[in-house]
Amino acid sequence: MTGRHPSLGTDSLLRYGLEDPRRLARFLLQGAERGLPEAQARLGQILLDGNGIQRDQALALRWFRIAAHHGHADAMNMVGRCLENGWGTAVDLAAAARAYAQAAQLGLDWGFYNYANLLAQGRGVPRDRAAALELYRQAARQGHAKSMNLVGRFYEEGWGVPVDMEEAARWYLSAAQAGDFRGQCSHAALLTRQGRVDEAVSWLRQAMRTATPGFLQKIAEALAVSDSEPLRALAAEINSRYARMQEPLPAMSSGKEGFSSLLSLCPAT
């Protein structure tokens, strides 16, 4: 599109949305009503987020479904997300799995990842860790950092594949370098086991930049009882940061855990 309207490209829409979210919402609505799947999918996303428009999860799902019907892979994935999480509809894990599978069939990395999560956990589909691992691998080959970490986790735990710590280490490093905070944590845990504490602290600091509050809580609890003074100091730093934000991390109720158990704190999803 030309003139004062943006194209539907990601960068163009991002700039436009930052400048005027309401105008972006109107623009996307016009495109969606004209039958443009990309506009329909993006309209669904801003409706889901309430960005520039009143939040309406049910209407978001409707637009995702319309775009998915037109073959839009991201929209198929978002239909799955809505069905999995109960956004605008009742939770339906079996239907979510079907939506993720459709997105995966079109080669979408997030479709591979989300479908693999359900297969790994046996939610909505029979548990099949071998199939889940292959889907994570396919997403990882596309550069999906979360999937890289989970491929490593499967080799670490021996889920659907023989235990192979060297292979796990390679995948954790790849995930860490790709910016996944769980991958950075996993890589740091292995470095600590090797006595490379300074390197581990460096990776944990990187993880702190993007980790969720709940995950940081787990990291702080584990580090606080470490035998390593630098790791204990990092735990205090994490707690201090949240105290300054007036959001202190609540105490964990599961007892003390050493840093060597951090990998077990990284869930499969």
Quote the pLDDT of residue 166: 98
**Domains contained in the chain, number:** 1
Q: Is residue 221 part of a domain?
A: yes
227 C-beta neighbours (distance < 10 Å), count: 11
Predicted confidence band at 3 (pLDDT cuts at 50, 70, 90)?
A: very low
pTM: 0.83
Residue 206 is predicted with a pLDDT of 97
Asked, for residue 210, whether it belongs to a domain, the answer is yes
Mean pLDDT of the chain: 87
Is 162 in a helix, a strand, or coil?
Answer: coil
Q: What was the pLDDT predicted at 21?
A: 84
Q: pLDDT exceeding 70 applies to what percent of the chain?
A: 83
Establish if 88 belongs to a structural domain.
no
Query: Is the predicted pLDDT of residue 13 greater than 60, yes or no?
Result: no
Which pLDDT does position 241 carry in this prediction?
Answer: 80
Indicate whether 267 belongs to any domain: yes
Q: Exposure of 126 by Cβ count < 10 A (0-12 exposed, 13-18 middle, 19+ buried)? A: exposed
| Structure confidence at residue 52 (pLDDT) | 87
The answer to the question of residue 147 being in a domain is no
Q: Which domain holds residue 183?
A: 179-269
Query: Is residue 168 situated within a structural domain?
Result: no
Give me the phi and psi of 117, to 5 degrees please: -60, -45
Comparing 143 with 264, which gets the higher pLDDT? 143
| Banded pLDDT at 60 (limits 50, 70, 90) | very high
For the four alpha carbons of 234, 236, 239 and 240, in that order, the dihedral sign comes to: negative
Residue 173 lies in a domain: no
pLDDT above 70 (res 219)? yes
Please say if the pLDDT value at position 111 is more than 60.
yes
Output the pLDDT for position 266: 43
Query: Looking at the domain assignment, is residue 252 inside a domain?
Result: yes
